[in-house]
Amino acid sequence: MEKSEIIKNINTLRKEKNAIILSHFYQDGDIQDIADFIGDSLALAQWAAKTTADIIVLCGVHFMGETAKIICPEKRVFIPDIKAGCSLADSCAVEEFQQFIDEHPDYTVVSYINTSAAIKALSDIIVTSANAAKIIASLPEDEKIIFVPDKNLGDYVNKQTGKNMLLWNGACHVHQQFSIERILELKQQYPDALLLTHPECPANLREISDHVGSTSSMLKFSKNSDKKQFIVATEAGILHQMKKENPDKKFIPAPPKDSANTCNECVFMRMNTLEKLYLCLKNETPEIFIDEETRLKAVRPIKKMLEISSKYGL
Ligand code: 13P
Ligand code: SF4
């Protein structure tokens, strides 16, 4: 089917079915362009919480679909490709996590949103890269904290807040793979360019950056800056919005260690395509299901995150 036909069909179906299409910034440009809303993990959860649609099609990875379903059990939630997982979320298996918690009974469990519903159900509070430092800084000074699963984001938050959280040893395959050497070469080639980095990247990359923040924060920073060139160290899908919002500025994807590639893409995010989005709306599958016992446990730490975020105007 021609792309224009797919777009026409998606538009008809979403109206007929009262469906909303939510997209993360790491999706293909075509998906971002057709979405009702594009955002980071926090904004996607906030949208799920306020939409009046009957159906949510979450164009992102599995944990994002699960989060929407946990928040809105009365809605049907679909993702275009059910195999779109997350290597970071997968680095935290329930049995090992339960053991870790049992070994630290007096610790508060703070989990990154990039976790499965089962891990969220064992957590006290959920955070995203957009609110982690603020939420964790707001916890009492003497509170002992476990942070899972991203060791880089955990280290970043420890440094930002002066906390000493115990960190799970997980990392994202995309953000772990940037090449400092190739980025330094780019900085020489573009001496005026600012380096924007996601906090899931290792400390040695964050330390040479001009701005560290979530996808939405990188987007906002590039828009507000009077600089014209930016090297972007996160999944390359974000460049689509950056270029759209700033046609007069140059955005250069930070290169990975693998010298065959010029940018870093998340294989899971890229499993979703415009055609799969259309088929998902048409056939109402693949759907996200969560057992009610897990959902009831997982919704509490997510609601806590949404409440604190709105208190801080995030
Ligand atoms: P953001 O919440 O910053 O969009 O990050 C999501 C993600 O998966 C980063 O890898
Ligand atoms: Fe997970 Fe990394 Fe992909 Fe984000 S970029 S969805 S953290 S694997």
Q: Which residue's CA is minimally distant from atom 3 of ligand 1?
A: 214
- What separation in angstroms does the CA of 61 have from each of 26, 190, 263? 10, 33, 20
pLDDT, position 146? 98
pLDDT, position 178? 96
pLDDT, position 234? 97
Band (262; pLDDT cuts 50, 70, 90): confident
Ligand 2 atom closest to Cα of 89? 1
Asked whether residue 123 carries a pLDDT value surpassing 90, the answer given is yes
Region 175-180: mean pLDDT is 95
Pseudo-torsion of CA 107, 113, 117, 121, nearest 10°? 20
DSSP letter for 226, please. S
Residues paired with 167 in a beta bridge: 147
Q: Where are the domains of the chain?
A: 3-85+269-289, 88-173+294-311, 175-253
Band (258; pLDDT cuts 50, 70, 90): confident
Residue ranges around ligand 2 (CB below 6 Å): 61, 86-88, 114, 172-174, 235, 266, 268-269
Number of DSSP helices (H) and strands (E) in the chain, helices first: 15, 12
Query: Ligand 2 centroid to 175 CA: how many Å?
Result: 8
Asked whether residue 282 carries a pLDDT value surpassing 90, the answer given is yes
CATH number of 3-85+269-289: 3.40.50.10800
Query: Ligand 2 centroid to 172 CA: how many Å?
Result: 6
DSSP letter for 94, please. H
At residue 225's C-alpha, the angle toward residues 311 and 309, to 5°, is 10
Asked whether residue 259 carries a pLDDT value surpassing 90, the answer given is no
User: Tell me: the pLDDT tens digits for 52-75?
Assistant: 999 999 999 999 999 999 999 999
Yes or no: say if 256 and 178 are a contact pair by the CB < 8 Å rule.
yes
Average pLDDT of every residue of the chain = 97
Q: pTM score, two decimals?
A: 0.96
Query: Ligand 1 centroid to 24 CA: how many Å?
Result: 8
What is d(CA 60, CA 270) in angstroms, rounded to the nearest whole number? 9
**What's domain 175-253's architecture?**
3-Layer(aba) Sandwich (3.40)
Ligand 1 atom closest to Cα of 61? 8
What is d(CA 98, CA 297) in angstroms, rounded to the nearest whole number? 14
Asked whether residue 277 carries a pLDDT value surpassing 90, the answer given is yes
DSSP secondary structure string, 118-134?
A: HHHHT-SEEE-TTTHHH
Pocket test for ligand 1, best of 38, 41, 265 (most atoms within 8 A of CB): 41
Q: Which residue's CA is minimally distant from atom 8 of ligand 1?
A: 114
Q: Is 172 in the pocket of ligand 1 (CB under 6 A)?
A: yes
User: Tell me: the pLDDT tens digits for 223-242?
Assistant: 999 999 999 999 999 999 99
**What's domain 88-173+294-311's architecture?**
3-Layer(aba) Sandwich (3.40)
Region 121-128: mean pLDDT is 98
What is d(CA 153, CA 132) in angstroms, rounded to the nearest whole number? 9
Region 8-36: mean pLDDT is 98
Q: Which residue's CA is minimally distant from atom 2 of ligand 2?
A: 172
Yes or no: say if 229 and 249 are a contact pair by the CB < 8 Å rule.
yes
Ligand 2 atom closest to Cα of 234? 5
Chain center to CA of 243: 20
What proportions of the chain, in percent to the nearest 5, are helix, strand and coil?
45, 15, 40
Element (H, E) at 24: strand 19-24
Q: Do domains 3-85+269-289 and 175-253 have the same CATH topology?
A: yes
What is d(CA 245, CA 113) in angstroms, rounded to the nearest whole number? 27
Q: Return the structure tokens found at 162.
A: 């002066």
User: Tell me: the pLDDT tens digits for 153-170?
Assistant: 999 999 999 999 999 999
